[in-house]
Structures are given as C-alpha cells and as structure tokens.
C-alpha cells in the first residue's frame, strides 16, 4: 500500500474518496469546511443524519474535486481510547476496498482532540492492517489495495511517524502471513528458511541449529518434542546488534510449534486444525526482528525461535519419560501435549547463558487455560520484574494489545515439583494452568528480568474474539506492535 502525506491545501484536489472524522453530537466534520457551499450543505444534512456514531461510515457522492466524501463516526469524546482512530481508519480503508477505489484520503483528526503524531500512526496501522487478507491459497484473489493519502495541517514530523508505522504494520502483516500458513506448508525447516530469507534481505545475522546440533548441545526439550515428527526440529537465532558492544541485549523468545497434535497425549479432533497457530509466538518474534532491523534501532536485540512439530509416532516422546533440559534440570513428562514449555525452557536458558541479557520477553500460545481465565481479547503476562513489566504494560495501553498479569509465587512453583525429577511438565489437575506453565519457564532462567506473554487466546481470531477491522480472520500478529513500541522507547 502506497502512503502519501499531503498538506491541508490539497483538500480541494482530485481523489476518489475524501474522509473526515466526526465526533458524536458534533455538527462539524473537521477539515471539510473549506469545501464549496453546495457541497457543504450536503455534508451538513448527512452529518445530522449519521450523528457521528462510533464506527458508522457514511458515503456521500459529490461532484468534484473529491468523487465521494465520507463521514466516519468516532463516537463520544468521553469514550475515546488509543484504539479509536486505528479502529475507524480500518473501517474507512475497508469501505474504500469494497468500492474498489484506487485511492482514498483521510483528513487527520483535529489536534485539539487527538495527538497529531499518534493519530497519523494509528491511521497508517488501521488502514494497512485492515486491508490484509490471507489469500495465498485462493485461486481468485479479490484483494485490491488502494493508495492512502493522509491530509495534515503541517507535514514535517508526521512523515517520519507515518513511515515508522508503515514498517511496524508491514512487520505485523509479515507475522500474520507466516502464522496463517497451513502446517503442510510451514514446517520447522520452512520457518527457518523464511527467517534466513528475511535476515538476508535485512543484513541481519541468522543461525539455524539443526537436529544434530541441538542434540549435541543438550537441548533435551526441543529434541524430545521434535522426535515424533519426520519434520525435524530447528532453533532459529536472529541477532540485531546495533547498540554499543557493552550494552546487554534484549532477548525475545517465541514458541513455534508448527503443528500441535498433542503427541501421544493426542488432542481431541475438534478444532485441532487451529493448532497450526501454535507457531504464532515464533512468528511474532520474526516480525519484531524484521522491523527492528528496518527501523535501524540503535540497540542490541536477539530473537530465538525454537521450532518443532508435535506428532504421535513410534519415535515420539512419551508420558513417563524423564528428559534433561538445556540448563541441566530434569523434567518428568506427564503429558506430551504440554510441549511448549519444554522447547521454551531450552531456548530461554540458552538465551540467558549466551547473551547475558538485560531482559527476556517470551511469547507463546502456551495454555488453553489462558482462554478460560482471560478469554480471547486479553493475553496473560507473568513476570519476575516490576520495572520491565510496567514498561510492557505502558506499551500495551498505547497499542491496544491488551494484557493482564497473573501472579507467580512459591506456592505455584511447588505445584510443578516431581517425585522423580526436578520438575514435571504439568501442574496439579487443571488448577492455574497458565501459571504452572509459567512456573516451568521460570525454572529455566536465573534472575534476568523476564516477562512471559501467553497469547493462546489472542494470537488468532476465535469464537469470542471481538471484531476489529484491523484483525481480519486468522492470525493477529499480537505482540509485534507491543514490543516494537517498547523497544522504540528504551
Ligand atoms: N498449544 C497448546 C495450548 C493451546 C490450546 C493454545 C488451545 C490455544 C488453544 C499447548 O501446547 C497445550 O496443549 N497445552 C495444554 C497443557 C496441558 C496438557 C497441561 C493445554 O492447555 O491443554
Ligand atoms: Mn500442546
Ligand atoms: Zn502447543
């Protein structure tokens, strides 16, 4: 999608669609007052008809210079959030696509109500993300992407902010488009190839650990889970080291189970297809690394993605097995469907040992219990560090990728103690499933500041997912915008 920033003088220029935001109850559409009086009368009438109700899009055919004027309701002032402009911009973009337009223009909302830089970036995010469609496997592709002009009073700083949002949105789309791939098209090997290809384009270092290397170096969790599948496990490591050499990196870890059948503890058939999304954590890390490099952030960031396919076979790991993880701790397997924590534990320990990071953040579609606890619109976080956690919460408020903290204390740590090994890979019954999984991860690191994000409910659109234009059906890319906001602010 091409994006242009234009000055307010171009309100009178030719465009297929000129859109202004309307506050509920207001008799003005900001920016449209400069139009000729005939058009103005038309707008006045439509304004009172549509009333500025949130999400309402009204198309008014006009003559010239704009072929259509669109009024986009943004609701009551008291109800404005960090998502208002993003959400409504998405609706406008989808309207432009529905009308099969080549281009459309949006007038920046008044700076008296919305911060100019944030609204520019939210318009970009809302429009770009809402026009993404997973149509790789459709013979007939119907997705036409119109060009966007953002019309602003003064343009200097806004171009930069729009450019950043373009990179961030492209990274989110990159994440979605890999996460949406079916499991026959995306194995650990293909995922590693996507990572290598992206790294090469961006001149970033990418190493891929093969099954043999993983075995040799003691990645007992990744090897155990990966054993049952013909598609061999991999671990992808991406390095963006553009900060001072003395500065400790931030390590990002993402679970990438390209398909989770549950293994020998086989999952029931219903919705098992959705377990193609069990690689979403890894795809999120991949997208973040892409943007970090394109934004040329002057910091050190490392992305680690353990990737396996969890399959039942004569070679699979079993309930009852005892395995040794990368940090030397042993784990008793009681359920082969609790595989994510095993591969993540190895990757977390490796990240801490090799990079001595100042922070570790991991993303994983880790537990069904997370959906029971928080539903499908809020991710769970568990952390050992107040300061890091607060920063992530701040970013979450800005990007509207909602998170909620769950506690982790000694009592929960005790729930994963095993009679025969250092830990077991499940807790007690179904109690606090999200927290006991996090407790397992907590054992993989020492005292490095850490935030774990369980994205089981939010990584793709599910039954109870709130509809948002910028989250069309399928993978959502949750976490990409969140962590990029955090990384840009340190
Ligand atoms: N990938 C699943 C978690 C999941 C399930 C995410 C459904 C989103 C939707 C994970 O590997 C898993 O199977 N977890 C088990 C753990 C249990 C066996 C302790 C679960 O949540 O049932
Ligand atoms: Mn599982
Ligand atoms: Zn899983």
> Residue 267 carries which DSSP code?
P
Active-site residue, 133 included: no
Question: Per-residue DSSP letters for 83-139?
Answer: THHHHHHHHHHHHHHHTT-SEEEEEPPPTTTS-HHHHHHHHHHHHHHHT----TT-S
Active-site residue, 430 included: no
pLDDT at 203: 96
pLDDT-derived band at 40 (thresholds 50, 70, 90) equals confident
> Residue 426 carries which DSSP code?
S
Ligand nearest to the CA of 274: 1
Ligand 2 mean position, distance from CA 365 (Å): 9
412-460 pLDDT per residue, tens: 999 999 999 999 999 999 999 999 999 999 999 999 999 999 999 999 9
Tell me the β-bridge partners of 4. 149
Give residue 109's Cα distance to chain centre.
Answer: 26
| CATH number listed for the domain at residues 3-152 | 3.40.220.10
β pairing state of 234-241 and 205-209: antiparallel
Contacts of 386 (CB under 8 A, 6+ apart): none
> Residue 273 carries which DSSP code?
G
Q: What is the C-alpha to C-alpha distance for residues 483 and 316, in angstroms, rounded to an integer?
A: 35
**Sheet order of strands, 18-22 included:** 3-7, 147-152, 103-107, 18-22, 68-73, 57-61
pLDDT at 355: 98
The number of the ligand 1 atom at minimal distance from the alpha carbon of 426 is 19
Residues, beta carbon < 5 Å, ion ligand 3: 257, 260, 278, 340
For all residues of the chain together, what is the average pLDDT?
96
Q: Are 53 and 104 in contact (CB under 8 A)?
A: no
Helices (H), 356-382: 369-374
Q: Is the CB of 349 under 6 A from ligand 1?
A: no
Q: Indicate if the pLDDT at residue 38 is higher than 90.
A: no
Rounded average pLDDT over 118-125: 97
**Is 0.75 surpassed by the pTM of this model?**
yes
Give Rg (Cα) of the chain.
24
Rounded average pLDDT over 188-212: 98
Q: Is the CB of 278 under 6 A from ligand 1?
A: yes
Half-sphere exposure of 246 (CA within 13 A, CB side): 0
Q: Which of 196, 267, 318, 398 is catalytic?
A: 267
Contacts of 220 (CB under 8 A, 6+ apart): 323, 324, 325, 326, 346
pLDDT-derived band at 64 (thresholds 50, 70, 90) equals low
| Cis preceding-peptide flag for 17 (omega within 30 of 0) | no
Pocket test for ligand 1, best of 368, 380, 439 (most atoms within 8 A of CB): 368
pLDDT at 155: 66
Residues, beta carbon < 5 Å, ion ligand 2: 260, 337, 339
Give residue 48's Cα distance to chain centre.
Answer: 38
pLDDT-derived band at 249 (thresholds 50, 70, 90) equals very high
β pairing state of 450-454 and 359-364: parallel
pLDDT at 343: 99
**452: helix, coil or strand?**
strand
What count of other Cβ atoms lies within 10 Å of the Cβ of residue 372? 13
Q: What is the token pair recorded at 238?
A: 């991406």
Q: Are 290 and 239 in contact (CB under 8 A)?
A: no
Q: Is the CB of 90 under 6 A from ligand 1?
A: no
Rounded average pLDDT over 216-243: 99
Instruction: Report domain extents, the chain.
Output: 3-152, 172-489
pLDDT-derived band at 157 (thresholds 50, 70, 90) equals confident
Rounded average pLDDT over 466-487: 98
Q: Could you give the percent of the chain with pLDDT greater than 90?
A: 91
**Phi, psi dihedrals of residue 307, rounded to the nearest 5°:** -130, 130
- Residue identified by tokens 């001072």 is 244
Half-sphere exposure of 453 (CA within 13 A, CB side): 30
- Segments of 392-475 assigned E as strands: 403-405, 423-424, 450-454
Q: Indicate if the pLDDT at residue 156 is higher than 70.
A: no
Q: Indicate if the pLDDT at residue 364 is higher than 90.
A: yes
Q: Are 350 and 326 in contact (CB under 8 A)?
A: yes
254-309 pLDDT per residue, tens: 999 999 999 999 999 999 999 999 999 999 999 999 999 999 999 999 999 999 99
Candidates 3.10.290.10, 3.40.50.2020, 3.40.630.10, 1.20.1070.10; CATH matching 172-489: 3.40.630.10
2-36 pLDDT per residue, tens: 999 998 777 777 899 999 999 999 988 888 877 77
The number of the ligand 1 atom at minimal distance from the alpha carbon of 457 is 8
Helices (H), 277-318: 280-294
């Amino acid at each position: 999608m091409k994006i242009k920033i234009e000055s307010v003088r171009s309100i009178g220029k030719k465009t297929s669609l000129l859109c202004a935001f309307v506050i509920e109850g207001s008799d003005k559409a900001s920016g449209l007052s400069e139009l000729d009086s005939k058009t103005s009368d038309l707008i006045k009438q439509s304004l009172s008809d549509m009333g500025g109700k949130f999400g309402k899009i009204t198309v008014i055919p006009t003559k010239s210079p704009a072929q259509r004027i669109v009024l986009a309701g943004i609701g009551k002032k008291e109800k404005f959030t960090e998502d208002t402009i993003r959400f409504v911009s998405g609706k406008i973009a989808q309207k432009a696509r529905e009308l099969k337009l080549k281009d459309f223009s949006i007038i920046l909302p008044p700076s008296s109500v919305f911060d100019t830089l944030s609204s520019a970036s939210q318009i970009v995010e809302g429009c770009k993300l809402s026009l993404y469609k997973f149509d790789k496997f459709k013979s007939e592709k119907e997705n036409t992407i119109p060009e966007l002009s953002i019309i602003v009073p003064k343009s200097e700083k806004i171009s930069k902010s729009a450019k950043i949002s373009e990179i961030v949105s492209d990274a989110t789309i990159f994440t979605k488009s890999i996460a949406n791939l079916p499991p026959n098209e995306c194995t650990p090997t293909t995922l590693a190839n996507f990572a290598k290809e992206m790294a090469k384009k961006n001149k970033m270092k990418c190493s891929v650990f093969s099954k043999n290397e993983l075995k040799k170096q003691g990645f007992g969790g990744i090897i155990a889970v990966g054993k049952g599948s013909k598609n061999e496990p991999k671990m992808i490591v991406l390095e963006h080291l553009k900060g001072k050499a003395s500065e400790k990196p931030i390590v990002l870890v993402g679970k990438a189970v390209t398909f989770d059948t549950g293994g020998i503890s086989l999952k029931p058939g219903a919705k098992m297809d959705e377990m193609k999304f069990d690689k979403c954590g890894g795809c999120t890390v991949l997208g973040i690394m892409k943007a970090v490099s394109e934004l040329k952030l002057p910091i050190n960031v490392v992305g680690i993605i353990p990737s396996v396919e969890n399959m039942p076979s004569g070679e699979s790991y079993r309930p009852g097995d005892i395995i040794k993880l990368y940090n030397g701790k042993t784990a008793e397997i009681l359920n082969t469907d609790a595989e994510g924590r095993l591969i993540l534990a190895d990757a977390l320990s490796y990240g801490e040992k090799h990079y001595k990071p100042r922070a570790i953040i991991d993303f994983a579609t880790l537990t069904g219990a997370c959906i029971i606890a928080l539903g499908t619109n809020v991710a769970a976080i568990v952390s050992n560090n107040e300061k890091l956690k607060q920063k992530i919460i701040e970013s979450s408020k800005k990007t509207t990728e909602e998170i909620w903290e769950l506690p982790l204390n000694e009592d929960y740590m005790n729930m994963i103690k095993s009679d025969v090994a250092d830990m077991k890979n499940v807790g007690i019954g179904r109690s606090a499933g999200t927290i006991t999984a996090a407790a397992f991860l907590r054992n993989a690191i020492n005292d490095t500041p850490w935030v774990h994000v369980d994205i089981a409910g939010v990584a793709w659109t599910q039954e109870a997912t709130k509809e948002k234009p910028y989250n069309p059906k399928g993978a959502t890319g949750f976490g990409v915008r969140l962590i990029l906001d955090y990384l840009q602010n340190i």
